[in-house]
Chains A and B, each alone.
Chain A
Amino acid sequence: MSTLANEIVDRPPDLARPWTRTRIVGAVLVGFWALVILGLAWWLIAAWNPDLFDKYAPKYLSGLWVTIKLVTLSIVFGAALSVPVAAARMSKNPLFAWPAYAYVYFFRGTPLLAQTFLVYYGLGEFSAELDAVGLWSFFRDAWVCGLFAFTLNTAAYQAEILKGAIESVPRGQWEAASAVGLSRTQTMWKIILPQALIVALRPYGNEIILMIKGSAIVAIITVYDLMGETRRAYSRSFDFQTYIWAALIYLSIVEALRHIWDAFERRITRHLKR
């Protein structure tokens, strides 16, 4: 069959692709990146030092694990905290709405680094008072301080994502649900949230990526996460490849997560494809 088709149909000739100016520019740009990437790879191979690897690879792994734990827990705790905050934000009662608004504005309007310092060094000033109410053993640990600051921060962002998503569901959905006799709770869980979460999927993915990148700042408050281990390795070895390796690790995590998230989103929104 196929041979027959080949004989009968004459293939049209390939379209000529002349070397236009844009194509030359494109080739130069791609060539530049290829040079950078190849140069980096060549340098990493040339500078490969087994002693350095033996000494720091396990530390990088433990740092990576600290980063993953920190980001996962703060995202989960932040998600839990974001629900009441979002609810308060959407409340008609100003007694709830205003504090929630102030909370969200504060944590979204100030740098995460400043918030982390405020928690770590700021609360450290009140160690005696916190000890009296039994909270000091909690805030004593730098890792916990980081987790606490990150949780509060991401909760503010996640509350806004949640609120935006819920408000994106048309009012008609509420009305239709109440017309068929569903309670408000039922409507929320069965009708609104499933639709809202699809809208929220992309911003949630972005928020996780922002947290992975943002978590690097705990290195400044004595936590040895991936960034902390990198700085320690650099300050001992003064070998710049320590930073390049960290960059490669962060880049692969973020890229992998982005692709997994995209696939996940495609799968969940299958039914919406026309």
Chain B
Amino acid sequence: MTLFKRLALAASAAALVLAAGAASAQEMMKLKIGTEGAYPPFNNLTADGKLEGFDIDIANALCAEMKAECEFVAQDWDGIIPALRAKKFDAIIASMSITEERKEKVDFTGKYYNTPPAIAVKKDSTIAGITPADMKGKVIGAQGSTIHFNYLEATYKESEIKGYPTAQEYQLDLANGRVDAVNDDISVINGWLATPEGACCKLLGTVTPDPKIHGEGAGIAVRKGETALVEKFNAAIAAIRANGKYDEIAKKYFDYDVWGG
């Protein structure tokens, strides 16, 4: 836990790029990457204030592939698209699902992973299943402004839906019993259930993705009209898929296929 988180962050990102050592400084493209930093195992802050996770490793691999010098900017989730549009950074690599609603505001690359959503409850919960009838009158939590929140609002008309600023807060409230169930990506739910804090709770079931709401997996968002950047990212994603770098990173975090069908 060093004092100057941002500095350390920038330094470590720069160091990584330098270690990649692919190109001389002149041809380096400079990119600012926006991420959230509260969504383990994809992106979160470590105890000493550094960003880590699948998204961060993928971002670094992509930047190395594109010979770009990348700097991470941590930004709260519900302001992340406005911040991109306001040019606080150039791309969002934060497990953002590619949906029609978001495509109206930003452009997306192809997916870089796709895993289904899931619902978790407390271990002693009496909720039998994940149908709207099972959830009638219950309180369900999710991170606000996410596909999961939108899905809950659209599906569970007779339940109370609560939106939290970050995933960690609904986890706290499920453990406390303020909400009866939570909905998020299965990798996030499983990652949390494996920690001591997640010992309170269990997986209830996976949600069959609704393409209209859940979209086509997580992609990288850039400002509308920046087609050249989208192409570069797409090429880099294809390259790290081909050269084994992607699998190497995925294996570090997951024991199943996160690329998805």
**Interface residues of A, Cβ cutoff 8 Å to B:** 121, 124-125, 127, 131, 136, 140-142, 220, 222, 231-232, 234-236, 238
Whether A124 lies near B176 (C-beta < 8 A) is yes
What is the bound-complex CA distance between A220 and B163, given in angstroms? 10
CB–CB A220/B145 < 8 A: no
Q: Which residue of B lies closest to A239 (CB)?
A: B105
Q: How far is the CA of A25 from the CA of B165 in the complex (A)?
A: 46
Report the interface size class on chain B.
20 to 34
Which residue from A131, A142, A234, A238 sits with its C-beta under 8 Å from B162?
A142
CB closest chain-A residue, reference B178: A140
Would A124 and B144 count as touching, CB distance under 8 A?
Answer: no
Residues of B within 8 A of A131 (CB): 177
Rounded to whole angstroms, the CA-CA distance of A141 and B141 in the bound complex is 13
If A220-B165, A222-B163 touch, whether A238 touches B176 (CB-CB below 8 Å) is no
Task: Determine the chain B residues whose CB is within 8 A of the CB of A222 once the complex forms.
Answer: 141, 162-164
- CB within 8 Å: A-B pair count: 38
Check if B78 sits within 8 Å of A235, measured CB to CB: yes
Determine whether the beta carbon of A236 is less than 8 Å from that of B165: no
Smallest Cβ-Cβ distance to A238: which chain B residue: B105
Interface class of chain A by DSSP: helix
Neighbour of B82 across the interface among A141, A142, A236, A238, CB < 8 A: A238
Residues of A within 8 A of B81 (CB): 238
A223 to chain B, nearest CB (A): 9
Q: Is the CB of B145 within 8 A of A121?
A: no
On chain B, the residues within 8 Å of A121 by CB distance are 169, 172
With contacts A124-B172, A236-B145 taken as known, whether A231 is within 8 angstroms of B78 at the C-beta atoms is yes
B173 interface hit (Cβ, 8 Å): yes
Pairwise interchain contact B165-A232, C-beta atoms closer than 8 A: no
Q: Are A124 and B78 in contact (CB under 8 A)?
A: no
29 cross-chain CB contacts under 8 A? A121-B169, A121-B172, A124-B172, A124-B173, A124-B176, A124-B178, A125-B176, A127-B176, A127-B177, A131-B177, A136-B177, A140-B177, A140-B178, A142-B178, A220-B165, A222-B141, A222-B162, A231-B78, A231-B144, A232-B144, A232-B145, A232-B163, A234-B82, A235-B78, A236-B101, A236-B145, A238-B81, A238-B82, A238-B105
- Shortest beta-carbon distance, B50 to chain A, in Å? 25
Residues in A neighbouring B145, C-beta threshold 8 A: 232, 235-236
Q: What is the CB-to-nearest-CB distance from B139 to chain A, in angstroms, rounded to a whole number?
A: 9
Closest-CB distance, B83 to chain A (whole angstroms): 11
- CB-defined contacts of B141 to chain A, threshold 8 Å: 222
Question: Which of A220, A232, A238 interacts with B85 by CB under 8 Å?
Answer: A238
* Chain B CB within 10 A, most for which of A232, A234, A235, A238: A235
